[in-house]
């Protein structure tokens, strides 16, 4: 597998995680999913590296602003 880099659209994240859009939105609201990154007006994505970090430990995932190990 190649090293994660770049950004993924919501559709790509849904396919990769198997989660529905409503589940992802609920996890965003709970601050338990990789944050959205604005790319341009009206366009957001998620960091591919953060999505893979989430996939490695979904229940233990913390967004970058809540981590103490970095």
Q: What is the pLDDT of residues 20-60, one digit of tens each?
A: 999 999 999 999 999 999 999 999 999 999 999 999 999 99
Q: Kindly tell me if the per-residue pLDDT of 70 is higher than 60.
A: no
Q: Kindly tell me if the per-residue pLDDT of 1 is higher than 70.
A: no
Q: What is the pLDDT of residues 5-23, one digit of tens each?
A: 799 999 999 999 999 999 9
* Integer CA distances (angstroms), 19 to 2, 41, 58, 65, in order: 23, 25, 11, 23
pTM as predicted: 0.84
Question: Per the structure block, which two tokens stand in for 19?
Answer: 């989660």
């Amino acid at each position: 597998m190649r090293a994660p880099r770049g950004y993924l659209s919501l559709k790509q994240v849904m396919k990769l995680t198997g989660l529905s859009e409503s589940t992802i939105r609920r996890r965003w609201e709970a601050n338990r999913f990789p944050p959205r990154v604005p790319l341009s007006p009206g366009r957001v994505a998620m960091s591919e590296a953060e999505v893979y970090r989430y996939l490695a430990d979904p229940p233990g995932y913390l967004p970058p602003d809540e981590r103490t190990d970095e």
